[in-house]
Amino acid sequence: MRNWEAVVERHLNGLALEPAESAEVIAELAAHLAETCEVLCKQGMTEEEAERRTILQVEDWQKLCRLIQAAKTKENNMTNRVKQFWLPSLLTLFLSMGLLMLVQLFGPNPWIITRKSAWSLIAPVAVIYLPWLFSLPLVGAMGAYLSNRAGGSRRAMLSAIVFPVLPYSAFFLVALPVTAIFNDRLGHSIMFLALFVGLLAWVVAPAAALLTGGALVQLFLSRRLDARRIVGG
């Protein structure tokens, strides 16, 4: 007979509850699956077929994991969405904005990328604050940690990490193109170059920095979970 506890434990590896509580959930679900399988065998099914039918009871283990997590989390004033997405997102946003202000006020001069031509005097197309960029992995890591601790899904965590680049994305992808279209005084060649370099400097590079920190936290947390599982046998 299959070891149902091992099956459930493997599938619910993302369950972020207290170890004792996780163990209870795993034992309970395993007992349910074992009983289902036994009943199917008694009805005349082969063991193999019964096990296959039993495992089909759960179509999406990740979804089940999230539902259990949400159900087990004590209901209070803050909903899970607030804890898993909005709180980490707003924290990363304010932290990244605050750090940018500090770097602008007290940090070294920014790195200014200009077009190497006659336009260079009138069109600096990107201003990059390197100390700010280097501080963003920490912000991303914090967002990932908070979202993960609240039991957020991978999507919620990813959204919380890259949330600070949202205002810049809106500016470069909406405001700047709209300005370029309706303001006939601006040279389109400058605008499109500014759009491209600005997008790289203020959206792609910060997002990559934030994601680096977030990915490191994710890696650390998953290794810690694996280690806990090995210790727990």
Task: Tell me if 207 sits within 8 A of 199, measured CB to CB.
Answer: no
Q: How far is the CB of 11 from another protein (least distance, A)?
A: 11
Tally of CA atoms within 13 A in the half-sphere of 160 that contains its CB: 35
C-alpha angle with apex 33: 27 to 39, nearest 5 degrees? 135
Interaction with another protein in 64-123: which residues (CB under 8 A)? 64, 67-68, 70-75
By CB under 8 A, residue 63 contacts another protein = yes
Q: How far is the CB of 29 from another protein (least distance, A)?
A: 6
The contact pattern for another protein, residues 144-183, with x = CB under 8 A and - = no contact, is ----------------------------------------
- Closest to another protein by CB, 60 vs 226, is 60
User: What six digits make up the tokens of 189?
Assistant: 């060649």
Interaction with another protein in 23-62: which residues (CB under 8 A)? 24-25, 27-29, 31-33, 35-36, 57-60
Of the candidates 169, 170, 141, 168, the one whose C-alpha atom is nearest the C-alpha of residue 157 is 141
Tally of CA atoms within 13 A in the half-sphere of 186 that contains its CB: 17
C-alpha angle with apex 154: 148 to 155, nearest 5 degrees? 120
- Closest to another protein by CB, 25 vs 209, is 25
Q: How are beta strands 124-128 and 111-114 bridged, if at all? A: antiparallel
Interaction with another protein in 7-26: which residues (CB under 8 A)? 24-25
Binding site for another protein (CB under 8 A): 24-25, 27-29, 31-33, 35-36, 57-60, 63-64, 67-68, 70-75
